[in-house]
Amino acid sequence: MSERIPVKNISPVKVHRPDKSKHDNAYTPRSRIYVRAVTGLLENVRRLMGLWFLGIFAVLPWINYDGNQAILLDIGAQRFNIFGLTLWPQDLTLLAWILMVSAFALFFVTTFAGRVWCGFMCPQTTWTFIYIWFEELFEGSRNKRMKLDQRKMDFDKFWRKTCKHISWVTIALLTAITFVGYFTPIDHLFIDFFTFSASFWATFSIIFFAVCTYGNAGWMREIMCTHICPYARFQSAMFDKDTYTVAYDSRRGEHRGPRSRKASQQQNQEKGLGDCIDCNLCVQVCPTGIDIRNGLQYECINCGACVDACNGVMDKMNYPKGLISFTSETELAGGKTEIFRPKLIGYAIVLVIMIALLVFEIMSRLPLEIDIIRDRNSLYRETNGLIENVYTLKILNKSQKLQHYTISVSGLDGHIFKGKNEVSVEGGEILTLPISIAINPYSLQETVTEFSFTLQTAGGEQEPVKVAEQTKFLYPTYEYF
């Protein structure tokens, strides 16, 4: 075999661990992470996005549309009401399209900007930072929280811890009730839960999700991102050299070390010092507790906290910003990031196609469905010289309003219709309607004659909806010929 697999030589990454003699937090692989507060552009963007999506989550179940809860995912009734659209188990393809669009949107965003979903929009991150905010409110800054935990229990520590956990439980409970409100009418749910009159499953669901929220955002935090979330494991398959991720410019930052503010950047460079002053703030503000200076790590959620912290230090040192920034491997190597690359374009094309197919599926969906069931007891029966077939029509009104329908038969000349040809069906209801079709046997030319039942909306100002379903009329005609 003459062909050889090309081998790329990769220099090992030098891991820099915090110096215990310089910093007050001793490094251990799994010690509690005390996240330090940070301010900056990315932090403001993350907070605004978190508040925006949190507001949407909290408000949506309270919105009414046309007299009904706008979004109600009623699992018991097997129907999802999404504003004016009602989805049934028969509409499973729509759910499949939505999931595929979400997946390719995630692939596209990850290929372009890394794990920005985790850092700016993931519920786990949003609720974790909310809990940290309450932690800072009652227990103080990072150093104060560390000293508070080292103290023995006294009244000051007791009331601070108590208030913190009460706020955590309150947030968890409100989150759980709001979430369950997407599956149960939320206006009654709030009253029933606090008056202890809610159903068993509603109460169980609220308590279950409240415990999960309290445990995930209050205690597990980064464990969810580093050990449980599968996204951290397969994200690297979507990365390439032009993916924007939070990265440390080692060429500019090394060798790191403390220095005087009075010394200029050029003077420090002459001493062999880079721009990194080894203040360790990038580690202290990281919610997963990693050191971004060690290179790309799967624990990084691209929240940008270390970017804001480092930029603040660079401002104080009168150094240019960007020692830690959203950049690509290509830019760190001195090249130019190629945005329009085949991989990203491929994801974009597939995403557009998926969205187009989803829109087409929704636009072409009819709010009416009919199912025809033949009588299983007998294929046919004779009545007064006529041949009669019996059918059961199941009419599903997929809309959310009362609809009137007319029923007709096409493709069976000379038939006699026995049953109601005008019916009314409530929104989201299924009507079972028995119908008989009779015909003179001499009018039949074949043993099996195909024909159609046609349903059409009657009345109303909107354009009528028409649905036809084909079935068969059976009779052994050879007896008459």
What H or E segment, with its residue span, contains residue 64? strand 64-65
Mean pLDDT rounded to a whole number for the chain? 87
Buried b (16+ CB within 10 A) or exposed e, 281-320: bbbbbbbbbbbbbeebebbbbbbbbbbbbbbbbbeebebe
172: confidence class by pLDDT, cuts 50, 70, 90? very high
Query: Of the ranges 25-39, 94-108, 303-317, which one carries the lowest mean pLDDT score?
Result: 25-39
Helix (H, G, I), strand (E, B) or coil at 460: coil
pLDDT attached to residue 67: 80
SS3 80: strand
What is the per-residue pLDDT across 406-460, written as a single tens digit (0 to 9) for each?
999 998 888 999 999 899 998 878 899 999 999 988 888 888 889 999 999 887 6
pLDDT value, residue 389 = 93
Cross-strand bridge partners of residue 328 = none
Nearest Cα neighbor of 171 from 196, 121, 135, 146 is 135
Contact, 73 vs 182, CB < 8 A? yes
The set of residues, in sequence order, having a beta carbon less than 8 Å from that of 102 and lying 6+ positions away, is none
Strand (E) or helix (H) holding 165 = helix 155-180
For residue 30, what pLDDT is reported? 45
Residue 3 has what pLDDT? 63
Instruction: Band the pLDDT of 247: cuts 50, 70, 90.
Output: very high
Report the half-sphere exposure of 481 (CA within 13 A, side-chain side): 11
| CA pair distance 125, 128, nearest whole angstrom | 5
Output the pLDDT for position 26.
Answer: 45
Question: Phi/psi at 194 (nearest 5 deg)?
Answer: -80, -10
Residue 40: CB atoms within 10 Å: 19
Which helix (H) or strand (E) covers residue 111, if one does? helix 92-113
Percent of the chain beyond pLDDT 70?
92
Residue 13 is predicted with a pLDDT of: 47
Nearest to 464 by CA among 408, 391, 415: 408
- Per DSSP, which regions of 375-442 are E strands? 381-383, 386-397, 403-410, 416-418, 422-425, 430-439
Is the pLDDT confidence value at 261 over 70?
A: yes
Place of tokens 């039942």: 453
What mean pLDDT comes out for the span 345-357?
93
Structure tokens at 392: 């059961």
Average pLDDT over residues 317-321: 91
Reference 46, options 414, 307, 224; nearest CA is 307
Q: At which residue do the structure tokens 């999506």 appear?
A: 53
Please tell me the predicted confidence (pLDDT) of residue 27: 42
Q: What is the mean pLDDT of residues 90-109?
A: 88
- Residue by residue, DSSP assigns 189-230 as HHHHHHTT-S-HHHHHHHHHHHHHHHHIIIIITHHIIIII-T
Q: Identify the pLDDT of residue 61.
A: 93
Give the model's confidence band at 17: pLDDT under 50 very low, under 70 low, under 90 confident, else very high: low
**Count of C-beta atoms within a 10 Å radius of residue 449:** 20
Q: What is the pLDDT of residues 23-73, one digit of tens each?
A: 444 444 446 889 999 999 999 999 999 999 999 999 999 999 888 889 999
What is the arithmetic mean of pLDDT over 219-244? 86
The model's confidence at residue 7, banded by pLDDT at 50, 70 and 90, is low
Q: What digits encode the pLDDT tens for the residues 175-196?
A: 999 999 999 999 899 999 999 9
Give, in order, the Cα–Cα distances in Å from 249 to each of 91, 112, 131, 199. Answer: 50, 19, 32, 57
Average pLDDT over residues 458-481: 75
284 alpha-carbon distance from chain centroid: 29
CA 251, CA 433: separation in Å to the nearest integer? 78
Cα separation of 262 and 257, whole Å? 15
Beta strand pairing call for 381-383 and 386-397? antiparallel
CB 259 within 8 A of CB 237: no
Q: Does domain 368-480 have CATH number 2.60.40.10?
A: yes
Encode pLDDT of 323-349 as tens digits.
999 999 999 888 898 989 999 999 999
Rounded to an integer, what distance in angstroms lies between the CA atom of residue 356 and that of residue 272? 57
Looking at residue 95, its pLDDT comes to: 83
For 76-95, the pLDDT digits (tens) are 888 888 887 888 887 878 88
Distance of CA 449 to the CA centre of its chain: 50
More confident residue, 446 or 281: 281
Instruction: Give, for 268, the enclosing helix (H) or strand (E).
Output: helix 265-270
Task: Give residue limits of the domains in the chain.
Answer: 41-87+122-220, 368-480
Give residue 128's pLDDT: 94
0.85 exceeded by the pTM? Answer: no
